[in-house]
Amino acid sequence: MLPSLDIIIINWNSSIQLRECLEAVASADRQEFRLDKVIIVDNASTDRSLEGLEQIGLPIEIIRNAKNNGFGAACNQGAAISTADYLLFLNPDTKTAPDAIDRAISFMEKPDRQQVGVVGIQLVDSRGKIQRSCARFLTPSTLWCSILGIDKLFKNKSTSYMMTEWDHNNTQPVDHVMGAFYLIRSEIFRSLNGFDESFFVYFEDLDLSYRVKKLGWLSYYLADARSFHKGGGTSENIKATRLFYSLRSRILYGYKHFNPIQANLMMLASLSIEPFTRIIFALLKLSGSQVKETIFGYAQLFANLPEIYKSSGS
């Protein structure tokens, strides 16, 4: 019997992107798996992105949240109603190639791949350019390189946790695959109690990959399975908010996985040094919008400090 799959998509005002994502899923090959459910968890969208989805012809179930619960919490909501063998967390700004999901599950079902717990695939932009999406686990040294801006000057495995030095043209084990297409065995996800909901958005997938690794499972990147991935955002307000959540989650990651001295030093440097580093690089690029983004993002971060300390257990 074919292994079963549930696809979980978190929606927040995704507009037409959600429909295009679902249409790509509907046209996907299904020779290697049985699709049980496509679970859409809507984080209080105010657009019309949920309208007419029943016409696509997928076994869709929608969970409607009254407020934005965050990415990790919403993923856990979707997983809670799943009984499938595999869970695929899929961003609404993706469009998978027809054979992508088949290839990913087929890879994990091979007898010699039974220690593979997580699989990600090749992500490309609108021009077909491969996104260098895989990452190494964060370390205090790579975080210091980010805080001081060294990773902007020298991009290599010593300075950046993102694997930008690798062209992503070959299949190989990695520490972490991007959560835009994150296929995981459901038994592993449940044994780890899913995503850590203290991460509202960003780094929750890296944290999960780290815990998967600690259990003895492998994560793999597949170069022969592909999906379009838009990524990013548009408005200045959202860019500033993205920066805030990224910094907040990075700090929480440090408190969770580093020793207290390392975590506290990283927190202090993030608040005192990094704002100026970011502003200097923005000025060098003559980007007034990036300066504003940094100021507004850090304003949100400082305002959220009591909640950060509470979430970190400090």
pLDDT, residue 233, reads 43
pLDDT, residue 157, reads 85
pLDDT, residue 268, reads 96
Both tokens assigned to 174 = 């990695």
Whether this prediction's pTM lies above 0.85 is answered by yes
Both tokens assigned to 65 = 């949240």
Angle at 286 between CA 282 and CA 287, to 5 degrees: 60
Do 258 and 152 touch, CB atoms closer than 8 A? no
Classify strands 181-185 and 86-90 as parallel, antiparallel or unpaired.
Answer: antiparallel
Do 35 and 131 touch, CB atoms closer than 8 A? no
Both tokens assigned to 109 = 């079902």
pLDDT, residue 311, reads 87
Do 180 and 88 touch, CB atoms closer than 8 A? no
What is the Cα–Cα distance from 262 to 266, expressed in whole angstroms? 6
Residue with tokens 């996907």, as numbered in its chain: 28
What top-level class would CATH report for the domain 4-133+168-229? alpha beta
30: number of Cβ within 10 Å: 14
Which residues, including other chains, have CB under 8 Å from residue 48's CB and lie 6 or more apart?
A: 15
Q: What is the mean pLDDT of each run of 10 residues along the chain (314 residues)?
A: 97 94 98 98 95 95 96 98 98 97 98 98 95 96 95 88 95 97 98 97 97 98 97 62 96 97 96 97 93 96 94 76
Beta bridge partners of 88: 7, 183
pLDDT, residue 236, reads 44
